Amino acid sequence: MSGVEIVPLAGIPEIRPGDDLARLVGDALERAGGLAGGDVIVIAQKAVSKAEGRVAQTDDTVGLILREAQAVRRRRGDLVIAETEHGFVCASAGVDRSNSPGDGWAVLLPRDPDASARELRDELGARFGAAPAVIVSDSFGRAWRQGTTDVAIGVAGLSPLLDLRGTPDARGRVLGSTQIAVADELAGAAELVLGKASGVPAARIRGYRVPPGEGSARALVMPPERDLFP
């Protein structure tokens, strides 16, 4: 059966600044049966940010959001839709008070989520002998749809876009313009076993053949000249 299997990596404690995230994820992977070639590890941004000390204590959440934002796209009451320094467009420029280290604390996005993904990939590769593709995921809202879905904000060891341009469809007709954001679909698939309230920050996906590449989540950012909703 050529299926895809997603398992939660359980037993990872609450992450604190300076924690060795790769060791904790590796220990959880061992409990889940280890790594195989082609596996994808999805890790929640919040765990990465906490390990990297990307947390802030403030009474002024809006001020913090505006500091983190490169540009504010829309604002309505407490809701700020902002572009981050990475180019991502999301609520509150990624600043999040839920699952933070404590009252008055907020978690910020990693400075370089691709580098975070690469580091985890390299360290897990060294430990297990097979380097997994790694995705750092976060929950983003969407322009015209209710609810969040998890998407990739950092990637390593895969191309985040599967490019079908030029390949034939099932009838042999060449597909004109299809690029599939598989890194976002993988992040969303992993969210199904993570869960906001469960304290499980990582998942292993097995059985999906990732598009090869070194990878960067920056490739998922719509370039300004193609952005119809600035």
Q: Are 175 and 163 in contact (CB under 8 A)?
A: no
Residue owning tokens 């061992």: 30
**57 or 198: whose CB is closer to its own copies?**
198
145 belongs to the binding site for its own copies (CB under 8 A): yes
Residue owning tokens 């950092």: 154
19 belongs to the binding site for its own copies (CB under 8 A): no
Start-to-end C-alpha separation, the chain = 44
**123 or 133: whose CB is closer to its own copies?**
133
* Residue span binding its own copies (CB under 8 A) among the ranges 17-25, 53-61, 118-126, 137-145: 137-145
The phi and psi torsions of 219 (rounded to 5 degrees) equal -65, -15
**66 or 161: whose CB is closer to its own copies?**
161
7 belongs to the binding site for its own copies (CB under 8 A): yes
How far apart are alpha carbons 70 and 156 in whole angstroms?
A: 24
168 belongs to the binding site for its own copies (CB under 8 A): yes
DSSP one-letter string for 46-106: HHHHHHTT-EEE-S-HHHHHHHHEEEEEEEETTEEEEEETTS-EEEGGG-B-TT-SSTTEE
Largest CA distance in the chain: 59
* Residue span binding its own copies (CB under 8 A) among the ranges 51-59, 63-71, 127-135, 168-176: 168-176
165 belongs to the binding site for its own copies (CB under 8 A): no
Residues 48-67 that bind its own copies (CB under 8 A): none
**208 three-state secondary structure:** coil
* Residue span binding its own copies (CB under 8 A) among the ranges 61-69, 110-118, 121-129, 176-184: 176-184
Of 48, 50, 65, 88, the one binding its own copies by CB under 8 A: 88
How far apart are alpha carbons 98 and 36 in whole angstroms?
A: 33
Positions that interact with its own copies (CB under 8 A): 1-8, 14, 32, 74, 76, 79, 81, 88-89, 97-100, 102-103, 139, 142-151, 160-162, 164, 167-171, 173, 175-176, 178-182, 184-186, 188-189, 191-193, 196-199, 208, 219-222, 227-229
